[in-house]
């Protein structure tokens, strides 16, 4: 809130469908001029907030989002952190869950809302879901409870639901309801009213200064198991030059084949200093290592259980921890503990 009591929200357009309009000359989709977003969404003027828009140049389809662009998002937030009450990041839906997860780890001690949104249909087409998503994301970013932001977290707002970003996954390429949060309830549900689920939102008990983390190390791999897994493929993945951490997407509650060779491959990677995290391919539920014989051997070999973390949060968390710490034992001790509410 500025000195006159006006709420300020910053919109950061990174790219994606939401920012597209149809070029009247060519008929094809082109990015909108975000500096003048209220020409497309005149409703924004009715808020009475100070809304400033900035756009990445060039804009990025979210398939091209990478750690450098996460740093660019965080730099924009850092430069403007003291001057805005909340931030809305407009982003393509395809990798939005990765970016929201990454930013949740990069913004330690966050005390302001950072709300990702996007749309399935461009803002410039008649049936767009983009306008409602944008308008409500701004309202949530601006919403205050007892003089402080109602949701000081990195979230995704989409199709009437506010979800903790690092709990989400994109589950539909067709429906407006594109994101799910299988293991954590919505932080708010939107109908006639915006109903916040205050007991599920993280509030800092002791106020600490925000820390902007900007280093990632991408020497990681994700191995999705399937029946009939080929030994030489596993061996090639594990022997990828420079590989520091491997995420295995296992079956059910964290189960894998008990083939001797498979366990041997994992054991040798770990004894050479590698980290292995076990996450489940299931959309809901958690890894429980040791529950079945099919995970007991992995546990003995030193594989770490990832609980109910999503694949998106696991990937970004490990790249973040590898970038932040040199010491393998520090990383191992943090990997299965919640840093930003990503694991139950």
In the complex, the smallest distance separating the C-beta of residue 17 from ligand ASP, rounded to whole angstroms, is 3
Measured from the CB atom, is 10 or 59 closer to ligand ASP?
59
In the complex, the smallest distance separating the C-beta of residue 20 from ligand ASP, rounded to whole angstroms, is 8
CB 118 within 8 A of CB 16: yes
In the complex, the smallest distance separating the C-beta of residue 225 from ligand ASP, rounded to whole angstroms, is 27
Which parts of the chain fold into alpha helices (H)? 37-40, 67-80, 96-106, 130-142, 231-238, 260-271, 293-301, 311-324, 328-335
Residues that bind ligand ASP (CB under 6 A): 15-17, 61-62, 92-94, 118
Measured from the CB atom, is 179 or 262 closer to ligand ASP?
179
Q: Are strands 107-108 and 211-212 parallel, antiparallel or unpaired?
A: antiparallel
CB 67 within 8 A of CB 102: yes
Measured from the CB atom, is 174 or 293 closer to ligand ASP?
174
Task: Please compute, for residue 169, the number of CA atoms within 13 A of its CA located in the half-sphere on the CB side.
Answer: 18
CB 273 within 8 A of CB 307: no
Considering Cα of 113, then 114, then 120, then 121, what sign does the dihedral take?
positive
Which residue's CB atom is positioned nearest to ligand ASP?
92
Active-site pick, 4, 14, 17, 95: 17
Measured from the CB atom, is 94 or 265 closer to ligand ASP?
94
Task: Please compute, for residue 134, the number of CA atoms within 13 A of its CA located in the half-sphere on the CB side.
Answer: 33
Residue in the structure block whose two tokens are 């005149």: 42
Measured from the CB atom, is 177 or 288 closer to ligand ASP?
177
In the complex, the smallest distance separating the C-beta of residue 22 from ligand ASP, rounded to whole angstroms, is 15
In the complex, the smallest distance separating the C-beta of residue 62 from ligand ASP, rounded to whole angstroms, is 3
In the complex, the smallest distance separating the C-beta of residue 181 from ligand ASP, rounded to whole angstroms, is 18
In the complex, the smallest distance separating the C-beta of residue 89 from ligand ASP, rounded to whole angstroms, is 12
Measured from the CB atom, is 62 or 181 closer to ligand ASP?
62
Query: Is residue 17 among the annotated active site residues?
Result: yes
The answer for residues whose C-beta is within 8 angstroms of residue 154's C-beta and 6 or more apart is 100, 103, 104, 107, 110, 114, 116, 164, 165, 166, 340
Measured from the CB atom, is 14 or 310 closer to ligand ASP?
14
* Cα angle 110, 115, 118; round to 5: 155
Q: DSSP of 315-328, one letter per residue?
A: HHHHHHHHHH-S-H
Task: Please compute, for residue 79, the number of CA atoms within 13 A of its CA located in the half-sphere on the CB side.
Answer: 9
Q: Are strands 188-190 and 194-196 parallel, antiparallel or unpaired?
A: antiparallel
Q: How far apart are CA 187 and CA 196, in angstroms?
A: 6
Considering Cα of 155, then 70, then 53, then 33, what sign does the dihedral take?
negative
* Cα angle 205, 337, 234; round to 5: 155
The catalytic residues are 17
């Amino acid at each position: 809130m500025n000195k006159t009591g006006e709420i300020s929200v910053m919109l950061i357009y990174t790219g994606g469908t939401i920012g597209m309009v149809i070029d009247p000359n060519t008929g094809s989709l082109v990015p909108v001029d975000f500096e003048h977003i209220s020409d497309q969404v005149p409703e924004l003027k009715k808020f009475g907030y100070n809304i400033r828009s900035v756009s990445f140049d060039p804009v990025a389809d979210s398939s091209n989002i990478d750690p450098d662009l996460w740093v660019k998002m965080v730099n924009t937030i850092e430069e403007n952190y003291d001057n805005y009450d909340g931030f809305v990041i407009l982003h393509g839906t395809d990798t939005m869950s990765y970016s929201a997860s990454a930013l949740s780890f990069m913004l330690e001690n966050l005390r302001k809302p950072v709300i990702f949104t996007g749309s399935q249909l461009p803002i410039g087409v008649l049936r767009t879901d983009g306008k409602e998503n944008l308008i409500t994301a701004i309202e949530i970013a601006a919403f205050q409870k007892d003089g402080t932001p109602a949701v000081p977290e990195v979230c995704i707002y989409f199709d009437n639901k506010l979800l903790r970003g690092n709990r989400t996954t994109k589950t539909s390429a067709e429906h407006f309801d594109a994101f799910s949060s299988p293991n954590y309830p919505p932080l708010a549900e939107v109908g006639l009213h915006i109903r916040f689920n205050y007991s599920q939102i993280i509030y800092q008990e002791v106020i600490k200064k925000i820390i902007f983390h900007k280093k990632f190390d991408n020497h990681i791999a994700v191995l999705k198991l399937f029946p009939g897994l080929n030994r030489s493929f596993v061996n090639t993945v594990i022997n990828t030059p420079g590989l520091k951490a491997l995420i295995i997407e296992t079956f059910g509650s964290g189960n894998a084949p008990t083939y001797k060779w498979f366990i041997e491959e994992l054991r040798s990677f770990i004894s050479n200093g590698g980290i292995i995290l076990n996450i489940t391919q299931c959309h809901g539920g958690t890894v429980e290592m040791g529950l079945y014989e099919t995970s007991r051997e992995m546990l003995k070999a030193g594989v770490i259980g990832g609980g109910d973390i999503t694949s998106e949060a696991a990937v970004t968390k490990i790249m973040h921890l590898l970038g932040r710490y040199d010491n393998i034992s520090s990383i191992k001790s943090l990997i299965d503990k919640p840093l930003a509410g990503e694991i139950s």
